[in-house]
Structure formats: structure tokens, C-alpha cells
């Protein structure tokens, strides 16, 4: 039985979820990093302008519309202007190189030569998305002259650019459509969401504190891979870095953190006040650790021995790590660096992302039960999160408060970061649906996911991808977004 009710509401269902989200936003302000940067270049063949004087103003108006749409996608947009020849293309390329974009959108307004756009892709060292959006669904064939038609022939150079990019070893991506075609814009938005992932990983500082969970060979990650694959930095930390900050936490700060936790969590009768206060103290120190080292994620583990201080620190992480995750700094236990990276990727597109593994299979209902002990992403919960007191952490030393809840019902996407024999990393995804049903009450996050197939067959297929023991569980169906993100990052994508 819970002794504390964190929300006072008179509504239920979706309204309650909205109130819970608003409360979390108020109490746990998001930690934000560098904004995603999108570069934009529009262009057409300058030879046409004196031949058809009305053409260029029409195309510039289309370019303004594209710029306005991109600025609505939660990104900084650098508009490098409208280019009409190879020289102007080179100038735009230099501007975008200095801007350090996460994605360049190349808007073809009419025919242009590949020599005008190749420098943009080569010099900026940034993934390029080619878009060709004609003014409307179709031409008015009876009234159009050559100048009118040229506004509709942006598709003409797309195969040319695709060929030249391939010969130059540059990945080619394109969206073809018409200017106000919402289905085309949804595809463009997908690439911008992928750019959010690239931006988050390219500039991330991943904290790695403690040591490997003994025997978990799959968790071991070559720390050089993250900076060489994504550009990320890995900050190697000691639990003494946390201990030093715990020692500076005041009693008043601990009481304040306990009060905050009581507003967010329901508190079960099993929670011991002393353990609650310890978790709150560690939580305050964790916030300082993240701020001092400028961290965007944290993976941790420490085994400890016989209740000594470092064991108590490791056991006291769950409350603070869950609060950090809800603020946009994902945390994962068991030293799972690749999973904290996956959580940051899912977090970057607004899908949350909770530390997850397989827990059991329900063959009667056809679902996979998954979740984890340790930190959870509070913003994706189906109900108020519960703090439960545990006298023992299974498979780990120590005791204290743990988080219990399930992910809200509806579509979800798993994202894991796999690693192959040659060391290369990959994105591994699977989409399913969280469904209601019986859940364990053992102080763990637990969720029932229906993948639309026999759960045993799903486990076999999922395990064959090389995904590893843990992954991020996020809300919504986003496999296509992560497929695009893998393309921008230059890694493989595998989907079950």
C-alpha cells in the first residue's frame, strides 16, 4: 500500500497523463545541449534567368517557403541562399562548413548541374538530403510555356546528382514531391529528426563510472569507438568522484530532495526513511556530478563489499538516476555505455527511453515482458511511479529504494546499439505495442510488449542481430527515424 499520493487530480486516463507530464516538466526541468543545426541551400541553373525573367522570383518564393518550414522543426537553420552556378555553390559550401551543420538540405528548384552541388557535399563534410519539390501536384499543360515548365523540372537533375555522389563516395538521400505535399514534408521531418540524433551523439559527453559488471562480456565497449564513430566523448569517472560530492550535501538539501521525490513518486510502506534519505543525498550529488563534468548520459556500476561506502553509493543511485533520466540525461546501470548512448538517441527525438532487458515471456498472451531494476524514464510511465524499499537487489550488492512502474500503453520502439566482430557499431530496432496485463511488484520497471508474433520467435530474431543484453525502450513507432539516423551516422541499421 502506498502512503503518499504524488498527484492531486480529479481526472483520469489521458488527462491524468497530461497532468503528470506537466508536473514532471515543472519539477524536473530539462537539461539541454547544443541545438541541432540544419543547413539549407536552394539553387537552379543561372542560364535560365535572363531567358525567363519570371522564373527566378517564383523559385525564390518556393525557397522562402522551404526555409520557413524547416525553422518550425526545433532546429537552428542556416540559409546559405540561392545559388545559380558552381562558383556560388562553392561559396555556400564554405559558409556551411563554418556553421558545422548536422544535416544539409539541398533544395533543387529547377534543373541545375551536379558541379554546382558537389562542392557543398564534399567541403562541408556533412550528410546531405536532396529535396525536389515542384510548385503543385501537376502542370497546367494547356497554358504552360517553357518558363512555367522549368519550375516543375527539379526532378530532372536528381539521377545526375545521385550518380555523381555515388562516384564521389557520398551517400545519396532524396525526397521528391511537391511544395505543400504533407506526405513529402513528413519524410523531410524524418530526416530532421535523424539529424537530432546525429547532433546529440556527435556532441555528447558520456559519463562512465565504476567498472564492468563481472562476466558480462557483451557490455564491454571499446571507448575509442564512440569518438571515432559519432564524435562523442567518454568521460571516465570513479565512484570517488561521486563520494566527494556526497560528502558536501547538506541535511537541508537532502530534505528538499526527499520532498521533491514525494511529489513525483508514490512511496510504498516498504521504504525505510534512512534509505530514502540516502537515495536523496546521492541524487543531489549526482546532479552536481553531471553539471561539473558536463555529462549528457551516465552508465555506472560498482559491486562493493559488506556495506562499505562505495557499495552504498552504488545501491543509492536509482532514485537520482531516474530523476536525471527524466530531465534528459539518461542513466543506465551495469556499466551499459552502449545502452546509455541508445537512450540519448531516443531521448533526442522526444521519445524518452528507459533502460531495458528481457524479463520473461508470456506465451498465453503472446507478449514479451521487459524492463529492468534500477533507473527508469519517469516521463514515459503509464501510471505514477512507485518507490519500493528492497532489502536486497537481485544479482547486486546493497539495498535501498527502487523504482517500479510500467511504460504507458501503446506503440513503442526498442533501440539497441550492437557491435560486430570488426568493432563496428549498428542501430538495432524493433517496434511493438505495450498492452495491459499482470505485472510483478518487485521494485522493477516491467512492461508487456506485443510484437505481433510468437514471443519466443521474436527473442530468437532479436538476439541474432547482435544487439546485446540491454537497450532503450521508447514511446511511439520510430524505427524509420533511427534508420535515417543510422544513415547520417554512417552505421548499419537492423530491424526485427
| Residue 134 CB neighbour total at 10 angstroms | 21
User: What torsion do the CA atoms of 316, 321, 324, 330 make, to the nearest 10 degrees?
Assistant: 160
Q: What's residue 307's pLDDT?
A: 75
What Cα–Cα distance (Å) separates residue 475 from each residue in 271, 340, 451, 478?
29, 16, 14, 8
Distance CA 51, CA 118 (A): 25
| Residue 314 CB neighbour total at 10 angstroms | 25
Q: What is the side-by-side strand order in the sheet with 386-390?
A: 266-267, 386-390, 400-404
User: What torsion do the CA atoms of 357, 361, 367, 370 make, to the nearest 10 degrees?
Assistant: -20
Q: For domain 203-495, which architecture applies?
A: Alpha-Beta Barrel (3.20)
Q: What's residue 11's pLDDT?
A: 45
Residues 6+ apart with CB under 8 A from 230: 198, 201, 202, 204, 341, 489
Residue boundaries of the structural domains of the chain: 37-200, 203-495
Phi, psi of 111, rounded to the nearest 5 degrees: -65, 140
pLDDT per residue of the chain (496 residues) written in tens, 0 to 9: 344 444 433 344 555 666 777 777 778 778 877 899 999 999 999 999 999 999 999 999 999 999 999 999 989 999 999 999 999 999 999 999 999 999 999 999 999 999 999 999 998 889 999 999 999 999 899 999 998 889 999 999 999 999 999 999 999 999 999 999 999 999 999 999 999 999 999 999 999 998 888 878 778 888 899 999 999 999 999 999 999 999 999 999 999 999 999 998 888 888 889 899 999 999 999 999 999 999 999 999 888 777 788 888 988 888 999 999 989 999 998 889 999 999 999 999 989 888 888 989 999 999 999 987 767 788 787 777 888 886 555 555 555 788 888 888 999 999 999 999 888 999 999 999 999 998 877 767 888 999 999 999 999 999 999 998 899 999 999 999 999 999 999 999 999 9
DSSP letter for each residue of 470-487: -EEEEES--HHHHHHHHH
* Closest residue by Cα to residue 264 from 446, 23, 444, 445: 23
Q: What's residue 401's pLDDT?
A: 81
DSSP code, position 382: S
State which H helix or E strand residue 298 sits in: strand 297-301
In angstroms, how far is CA 133 from the centroid of its own chain?
A: 28
Distance CA 124, CA 105 (A): 12
Give first-to-last CA distance, the chain, whole Å: 39
What Cα–Cα distance (Å) separates residue 31 from each residue in 19, 178, 290, 335, 356?
21, 38, 10, 22, 22
* Whether CATH 3.40.50.10940 fits 37-200: yes
Q: What's residue 218's pLDDT?
A: 78
Q: Structure pTM?
A: 0.89
Amino acid at each position: 500500500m502506498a502512503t503518499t499520493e504524488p498527484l492531486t487530480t480529479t481526472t483520469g486516463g489521458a488527462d491524468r497523463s497530461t497532468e503528470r507530464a506537466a508536473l514532471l516538466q515543472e519539477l524536473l526541468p530539462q537539461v539541454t545541449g547544443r541545438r541541432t543545426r540544419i543547413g539549407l541551400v536552394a539553387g537552379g541553373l543561372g542560364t535560365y534567368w535572363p531567358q525567363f525573367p519570371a522564373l527566378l522570383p517564383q523559385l525564390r518564393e518556393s525557397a522562402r517557403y522551404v526555409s520557413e518550414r524547416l525553422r518550425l522543426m526545433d532546429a537552428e537553420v542556416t540559409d546559405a541562399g540561392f545559388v545559380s552556378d558552381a562558383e556560388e555553390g562553392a561559396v555556400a559550401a564554405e559558409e556551411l562548413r563554418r556553421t558545422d551543420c548536422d544535416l544539409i538540405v539541398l533544395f533543387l528548384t529547377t534543373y541545375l548541374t551536379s558541379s554546382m552541388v558537389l562542392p557543398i557535399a564534399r567541403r562541408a563534410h556533412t550528410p546531405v538530403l536532396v529535396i525536389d519539390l515542384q510548385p503543385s501536384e501537376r502542370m497546367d499543360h494547356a497554358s504552360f510555356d517553357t518558363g512555367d515548365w522549368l519550375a516543375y523540372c527539379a526532378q530532372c537533375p536528381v539521377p545526375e546528382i545521385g550518380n555523381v555522389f555515388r562516384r564521389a563516395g557520398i551517400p545519396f538521400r532524396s525526397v521528391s514531391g511537391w511544395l505543400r505535399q504533407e506526405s513529402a514534408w513528413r519524410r523531410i521531418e524524418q530526416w530532421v529528426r535523424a539529424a537530432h540524433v546525429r547532433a546529440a551523439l556527435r556532441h555528447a559527453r558520456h559519463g562512465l563510472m565504476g567498472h564492468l559488471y563481472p562476466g558480462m562480456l557483451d557490455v564491454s565497449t571499446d571507448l575509442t569507438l564512440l569518438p571515432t564513430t559519432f564524435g562523442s566523448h567518454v568521460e571516465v569517472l570513479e565512484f570517488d568522484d561521486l563520494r566527494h560530492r556526497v560528502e558536501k550535501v547538506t541535511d537541508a538539501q537532502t530534505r528538499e530532495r526527499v520532498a521533491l521525490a514525494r511529489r513525483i513518486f508514490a512511496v510504498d510502506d516498504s521504504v525505510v526513511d534512512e534509505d530514502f534519505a540516502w537515495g536523496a543525498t546521492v541524487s543531489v550529488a549526482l546532479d552536481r556530478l553531471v553539471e561539473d563534468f558536463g555529462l549528457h548520459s551516465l552508465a555506472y556500476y560498482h559491486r562493493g563489499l559488506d556495506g562499505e561506502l562505495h557499495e552504498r553509493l552504488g545501491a543509492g543511485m536509482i532514485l537520482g538516476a531516474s530523476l536525471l533520466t527524466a530531465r534528459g540525461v539518461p542513466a543506465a546501470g551495469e556499466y551499459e555505455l552502449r545502452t546509455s548512448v541508445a537512450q540519448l538517441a531516443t531521448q533526442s527525438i522526444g521519445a524518452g527511453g528507459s533502460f531495458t532487458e528481457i524479463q520473461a515471456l508470456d506465451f498465453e498472451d503472446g507478449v514479451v515482458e521487459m524492463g529492468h531494476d534500477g533507473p527508469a524514464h519517469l516521463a514515459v510511465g503509464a501510471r505514477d511511479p512507485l518507490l519500493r524499499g528492497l532489502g536486497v537487489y537481485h544479482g547486486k550488492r546493497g539495498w535501498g529504494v527502487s523504482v517500479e512502474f510500467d511504460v504507458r500503453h501503446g506503440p513503442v520502439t526498442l533501440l539497441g546499439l550492437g557491435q560486430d566482430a570488426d568493432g563496428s557499431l549498428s542501430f538495432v530496432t524493433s517496434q511493438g505495442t505495450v498492452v495491459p496485463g499482470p505485472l510483478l511488484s518487485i521494485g522493477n520497471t516491467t512492461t508487456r510488449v506485443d510484437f505481433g508474433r510468437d514471443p519466443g520467435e521474436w527473442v530468437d530474431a532479436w538476439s541474432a542481430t547482435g544487439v546485446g543484453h540491454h537497450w532503450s525502450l521508447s514511446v511511439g513507432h520510430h524505427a524509420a527515424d533511427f534508420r535515417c539516423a543510422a544513415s547520417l551516422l554512417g552505421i548499419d541499421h537492423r530491424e526485427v
